Amino acid sequence: MTGVALDNEVSRQELAHFLRTRRERLTPADVHLPNGSRRRTPGLRREEVAALAGLSLTWYTLLEQGRNVSPSFKVLDSLAGALNLAEHERAYMHQLVHSRTFPQRIERRHAPTEAALQQVADSLSPNPAYIVNKMGDVLGWNEAAAEWYTDFGHMPEARRNLLWWLFTVPEARVRLADWRRDARDQVGRLRAVSAGFPGRSCVSEMVDDLKQVSGDFRTWWDEYRVLNTEPQVRRLRHPRHGTVPMRLVILADGMHPSLEVVYHLPQLSGH
């Protein structure tokens, strides 16, 4: 049952909160259990999750309390099955536990790659394209992206970040027709990235800053919702062209996958 010691307090608490929020989102019917007697709290009971995962209630409770126990790979996979986790949620949980042993490597900047990706972005005009890293720092953009989103060059370099724009610049709520959905999705993607950074890090510092300035960010961060970079359609508003749905296509350099070009392909009607 034991595995790598989860000796980082932040990681322990993050895992505890994640397990609890995933447990509370499930109903007995979701895991083929009878509803039973009247429930005072939302979701499954701890003893139900423990039984589904083949764990003792005491040991599972220690995990949800953020105690210093050591779940093995097998235990984490059992919990993923018991909680009906998607693959990227399972990966997030493993990363939380094993981030000290297998740290995640994310490049924030790489000048030669950025220059090459900027050429790609420019070649994609007249469709919008911007360059970001996994934290959402905007590293480059073409003229169409400035036209459909904003001129990122007017933002201070330290705050030239997609999440910072979404949550602190009123223009974002105008340009994104589904701002609430898109902003919440970006929070879920940052949550996935954060698992690879135990303790204090550039990610936790950015999270703390955004919590200070945005109640929406605080609320959605505390949901512990985890998303991957699956394809999506984003509806953008333009003062002259109106609202246009665009499919986001991610292009990355295989040698430096932390840096990406986000290309916007106008969505044809009926597709």
pLDDT digits (tens, 9 = 90+) for 196-230: 876 678 898 999 999 999 999 999 999 999 998 77
Task: Collapse the DSSP code of 268 into the 3-class scheme (helix H, G, I; strand E, B; otherwise coil) and give the result.
Answer: coil
Residue 177 lies in a domain: yes
Beta strand ranges found along 190-241 (DSSP E): 232-238
Above 80 in pLDDT, residue 6? no
**Average pLDDT in the 112-128 region?**
96
Residues 122 and 67 in one domain: no
How many Cα neighbours within 13 Å face the side chain of 98?
13
Residues 73 and 127 in one domain: no
Residues 139 and 93 in one domain: no
**pTM more than 0.85:** yes
- Who contacts 196 (Cβ-Cβ below 8 Å, separation ≥6)? 95, 99, 103, 104, 106
Tokens of 208: 């703390």
Lowest-pLDDT range of 180-189, 190-199, 210-219, 230-239: 190-199
Q: What is the pLDDT of residue 5?
A: 45
Tell me which residue of 13, 195, 191, 15 sits closest to 104, measured CA to CA.
195
Residues 163 and 248 in one domain: yes
Residue 179 lies in a domain: yes
Final residue before a domain boundary, out of 53, 76, 98: 98
Q: What is the pLDDT of residue 57?
A: 96
Residues 217 and 115 in one domain: yes
DSSP for 125-156 reads: TTS-EEEEETT-BEEEE-HHHHHHT--GGGS-
Element housing 177 (H / E): none
Q: What is the pLDDT of residue 265?
A: 95
Residues 156 and 91 in one domain: no
Q: What is the pLDDT of residue 4?
A: 45
Residues 94 and 135 in one domain: no
Residues 73 and 205 in one domain: no
Final residue before a domain boundary, out of 44, 67, 98: 98
Above 80 in pLDDT, residue 236? yes
Number of domains in the chain: 2
- Who contacts 58 (Cβ-Cβ below 8 Å, separation ≥6)? none
Residue 254 lies in a domain: yes
Confidence of residue 45 (pLDDT cuts 50, 70, 90): very high
Q: What is the pLDDT of residue 155?
A: 95
Q: What is the largest CA-CA distance in the chain?
A: 62
β-strand partners of 132:
138, 260
Above 70 in pLDDT, residue 19? yes
Q: What is the pLDDT of residue 26?
A: 93
Q: What is the pLDDT of residue 269?
A: 58
Lowest-pLDDT range of 11-15, 211-215, 232-236: 11-15
Q: What is the pLDDT of residue 35?
A: 76
Q: CATH number, domain at 57? A: 1.10.260.40
Residues 237 and 258 in one domain: yes
- With contact defined as beta carbons under 8 Å apart, do 233 and 247 qualify? yes
Q: Which amino acid is at 189?
A: R
Residues 116 and 246 in one domain: yes
Residues 60 and 165 in one domain: no
Tokens of 170: 């009123």
β-strand partners of 234:
246
Residue 237 lies in a domain: yes
Final residue before a domain boundary, out of 98, 121, 137: 98
Task: Collapse the DSSP code of 78 into the 3-class scheme (helix H, G, I; strand E, B; otherwise coil) and give the result.
Answer: helix
Q: What is the pLDDT of residue 39?
A: 72
Start-end of H helices in 54-201: 57-64, 73-82, 87-98, 111-123, 143-148, 162-168, 171-175, 179-194
pLDDT in tens, 256-265: 989 999 999 9
Residue 261: give the domain boundaries: 111-266
Residue 103 lies in a domain: no
Report the distance separating Cα 114 and Cα 82, nearest Å.
42
- Who contacts 140 (Cβ-Cβ below 8 Å, separation ≥6)? 114, 117, 118, 121, 130, 131
Sheet holding 138-141, edge to edge: 138-141, 129-133, 256-266, 242-253, 232-238
Instruction: Look over the chain and give the mean of its residue pLDDT values, rounded to a whole number.
Output: 90
Q: CATH number, domain at 159? A: 3.30.450.180
